[in-house]
Amino acid sequence: MLGFTVIGSFWLEVALKVGVLRRAKRAFLSIFPVSIFFIIWDAYAIAQGHWFFDRTQIVGIYGPFDIPIEEFLFFIIVPIAAIMTIEAVTTVKPHWRKYEDNK
Amino acid sequence: MSYSAIAFTSALTFAAIDFFILKRSLLKTKYFWTSYAIILPFQLLTNWWLTSRNIVMYSDDAITGLRIASAPVEDLFFGFTLILGVLHMWEYLGRKGMQNK
């Protein structure tokens, strides 16, 4: 399913030259602080049993706080996909962002 | 706190910060909502896949029980908060001139 998200969004990198992967530093600094919050949330939810995973359907590698590796990848790939989407939108409609900048 | 409580609180908090505190609201822009409208169907599809196949399961005590595309409605608030937070950071760093094209 993460592969699906990659396929669904990363073509924008090539087709529209959104250049998100090229701007890795900005992407990393955008994602990292927000993901920390979500990893804490994830750790709490797993510890409390709010959600749980079918062990036969995940690769079975766990990071800190018993969080499956898929979850860490989720918090990297989904934000990148979102950034690519907003960059794609503002590539096609540049004036939408420029208008905001001139306010 | 239940998943419902955390999801609704964080989505509302993030939205309120965007709306009332930050000078550059994203929730008032066309380009944010256009992007979100593109992301949402993919999120629903992903949620549906992960929940209908029971890859991820939820405790009945932690959710309201209201489901959209097989996933708890809380997941939409979770995703909205994640996307809004990251895009704010991205836009902020861009305005600061970091790797701005």
B66-89 confidence digits (pLDDT tens):
999 899 999 999 999 999 999 999
Q: Is the pLDDT of residue A15 over 70?
A: no
Confidence of residue A13 (pLDDT cuts 50, 70, 90): low
Q: Are A76 and A5 in contact (CB under 8 A)?
A: no
- Decide: pTM greater than 0.95: no
**DSSP string of A38-87, one letter each residue:** HHHHHHHHHHHTSEEE-TTSS---B-GGG-BHHHHHHHHHHHHHHHHHHH
- Give the single-character DSSP code of A35: H
Binary contact (B86, A45; C-beta < 8 A)? no
Residues in chain B with CB shorter than 8 Å from the CB of A23 are 99
- Please report the residues numbered 16 through 75 in chain A whose beta carbons come closer than 8 angstroms to any beta carbon of chain B: 19, 22-23, 25-27, 29-31, 33-35, 37-38, 41, 44-45, 48-54, 57-58, 75
Q: Is the pLDDT of residue B16 over 80?
A: yes
Burial annotation B48-64 (CB, 10 A radius, 16+ → b, else e): ebbbeeeebebeeebbe
Could you identify the residue written with the tokens 């196949």? B53
Rounded CA gap, A92 and A79, in Å?
20
In the predicted model, what is the mean pLDDT of residues A17-41? 91
Binary contact (B24, A1; C-beta < 8 A)? no
Q: pLDDT tens, B26-44?
A: 999 999 999 999 999 989 9
Rounded CA gap, A37 and A5, in Å?
22
Confidence of residue A54 (pLDDT cuts 50, 70, 90): confident
Burial of B87 (0-12, 13-18, 19+ CB in 10 A): buried
In the predicted model, what is the mean pLDDT of residues A13-39? 86
Q: Is the pLDDT of residue A28 over 90?
A: yes
Side chain identity, residue A99: Y
Higher pLDDT, A18 or B3: B3
Q: Give the one of A41, A54, A86 whose C-beta lies nearest to B54's C-beta.
A: A54
ipTM of the complex: 0.93
